[in-house]
């Protein structure tokens, strides 16, 4: 379980849960307060896992965009800090996944030489 010692927050778990529950209603200020509480440590966590500074800012921005988007869908009574940590990992995985682009089969395709007769060579001539 991800506790406040990882996040180094000034709130105890009960106060954090109350703030998280308020943020699920129409209380935008509570959600903003949660974001401001978790932003510094989120930058540190992402920075330890991503090398590029610009990428860190993009990932942190995406994390909190998803926090705002999913605030009302988050299950009540669940640990907000654990939910946020898992969300950070999810965004990091998505970010690394988007960096890897599988080569297109067409990119490695080479047309046969013009002298190719259009027939398969006999087995003995394959490695000549």
Specify the fold of 4-95: Rna Polymerase Sigma Factor; Chain: A (1.10.1740)
- What count of other Cβ atoms lies within 10 Å of the Cβ of residue 57? 14
Amino acid 128: pLDDT: 47
Distance CA 38, CA 8 (A): 9
Amino acid 27: pLDDT: 80
Q: What is the mean pLDDT of each run of 10 residues along the chain (128 residues)?
A: 57 77 78 86 88 86 85 70 88 83 63 61 55
Residue for token pair 């949660």: 34
Amino acid 67: pLDDT: 83
Amino acid 1: pLDDT: 43
Distance CA 123, CA 128 (A): 10
Residue for token pair 């401001």: 36
Distance CA 16, CA 122 (A): 74
Amino acid 108: pLDDT: 61
Amino acid 14: pLDDT: 76
């Amino acid at each position: 379980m991800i506790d406040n010692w990882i996040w180094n927050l000034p709130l105890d778990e009960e106060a954090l849960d109350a703030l998280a529950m308020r943020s699920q209603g129409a209380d935008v200020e509570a959600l903003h307060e949660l974001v401001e509480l978790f932003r510094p440590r989120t930058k540190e966590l992402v920075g330890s896992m991503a090398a590029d500074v610009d990428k860190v800012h993009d990932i942190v921005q995406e994390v909190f965009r998803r926090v705002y988007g999913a605030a009302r869908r988050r299950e009540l009574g669940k640990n907000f800090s654990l939910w946020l940590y898992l969300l950070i990992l999810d965004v990091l995985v998505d970010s690394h996944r988007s960096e890897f682009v599988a080569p297109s089969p067409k990119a490695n395709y080479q047309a046969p030489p013009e002298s190719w007769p259009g027939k398969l060579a006999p087995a003995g001539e394959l490695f000549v």
